[in-house]
Structure 1
Amino acid sequence: MEEIKILLVDDHKLLRDGLRNIIEQKANMHVIGEASNGREAIQKCSKLLPNVVIMDVAMAGLNGIEAASQIHKNHPDIKIIGASMHSGRQFIQSMFKAGALGYLLKDGDSEELIAAIITVMQNRKYLSKDINQEIIASLNKSENLEKKQLSFREKEVLQLIAEGNSSKEIGEILFLSSKTIDVHRNNIMKKIDVYTISELTKYAIQEGLTTL
């Protein structure tokens, strides 16, 4: 079984000791270093090259979000798991935007910590089981929209669809074939995950593409 090298980052030594005790009960998981702040974490990652970093989100000097962003930029293969007492959407979303693959609440149990490590090593995301499902749904929606931004042409087509134009009419306005417009419309629907004209219209209004 492949060894998983782990770096612990938290400004409380007692918490780092607790995490170390849990992790090192697993034969293939080893804590290769510790850091007490974000700057130290960045340095240790460059020196030790861990597989996984357990990163406290709120630390003085350089917080875990900024540290995670820098580590992800310098070493994209390192898997980062945020750890926090905060379950608010802004903390979770910021950590994932910074490059984290997992987010744990500090009052979780030891089994969840191990599950999170195994999951991110498989290049899959892990969210603490106690995080509100509405927050998870909101994060997924935001993530999908961020990853699948509409192109300038797609926004043009979407606006014209929302304003009641047919594919033929849109094609005439944009000097494109109706078949090309249909392709754009299908791509738009897939990107924003809506499949009716009324939903497309609602989305266009929400995004400020039209006021109708």
Structure 2
Amino acid sequence: MPIRVVIVDDEVLVRSGLELIVGSAPDIEVVATCSGGGAVDAVRAHRPEVVLLDIRMPDVDGITVLRQLRSLTEPPVVSMLSTFDTDEYIGTALRAGAAGFLLKDTAPEQLIHAVRVLAGGGNILSPAVTATVIGGYVGGGPDAEAAAQVRCMTTRELDVLALLGEGLSNAEIADRLFLGTGTVKDHISAILAKLGAGNRVQAAVIAHRAGLVRGHGTGPAL
């Protein structure tokens, strides 16, 4: 089955361009495009796995639409779209449950890859916004509050959380740790519950703040 995608943007030309790019992949089907006001109805009608959602729209702002989508019984994975890498809504979107943040000038092959990662349970950030997000949430190094949050984790959960912090999908984490994807999914559910995190991106931020992710800090301050 192809990955079903809904594209939400107030500009028809942008929607058409994104549909052309994303729909060119043999394993992805764009089932609907619409403006913000039609997003909830489109998702209910087409039940996509992934929604690409413009963060700034004149009829209804993307954060409001995101919250509406996340409140559905079976919410899709949502990645925000923006023209600016310094968008002040990045943090708000991630806290509201967005699984990613992509710039509209993302290269076509990277955009297609992002949809696949999102559909596979991963989180995705455009390289240009990663520093903004990590810098805004993480600061200069491992943080005592985040370290305290991960103390309740088992060794295997810490392994999974560290790889989640690198942005890996469930399948990629499973390959890295020689686990089944179902086992990884169970670990992630337990991790989110223990951390009180609403989504994988929030958990990934905690992983960075706790020093679990290679290249960010010198290890967990446990």
Instruction: Name the TM tier (shorter chain).
Output: 0.5 to 0.7
Deviation of 1:139 (Å): 3.2
Greater Rg, structure 1 or structure 2? 1
Q: Which residue of 2 aligns with 1:11?
A: 10
Secondary structure of the equivalent of 2:80? strand
> What amino acid is aligned across from residue 33 of structure 1 in structure 2?
A
* Identity, % of aligned positions: 25
Gaps of 5+ in 2: 151-205, 212-222
What RMSD over aligned residues (CA atoms) do the two structures have, in Å? 2.8
In 1, Cα distance between equivalents of 2:87 and 2:16: 28
Gaps of 5+ in 1: 150-189, 195-212
CA deviation digits over 1:55-107, x for unaligned, max 9? 00001131111101110111454110100012226311111122111110112
Aligned residues: 150
In 2, Cα distance between equivalents of 1:30 and 1:66: 25
Query: Where does 1:80-95 land on structure 2 (aligned, <5 Å)?
Result: 80-88=78-86, 90-95=88-93
User: Quick check: 1:66–1:98 contact (8 Å CA) kept in 2?
Assistant: no
In 1, Cα distance between equivalents of 2:127 and 2:46: 30
Deviation of 1:148 (Å): 4.4
CA deviation digits over 1:13-47, x for unaligned, max 9? 1111111111121111011111112x310111112
Q: TM-score under structure 1 normalisation? A: 0.63
> What amino acid is aligned across from residue 3 of structure 2 in structure 1?
I
In 1, Cα distance between equivalents of 2:101 and 2:126: 6
Distance 1:126 1:132, change over 3 A: closer
Query: Where does 1:29-108 land on structure 2 (aligned, <5 Å)?
Result: 29-37=28-36, 39-88=37-86, 90-108=88-106
Distance 1:17 1:134, change over 3 A: closer
Distance 1:13 1:134, change over 3 A: closer
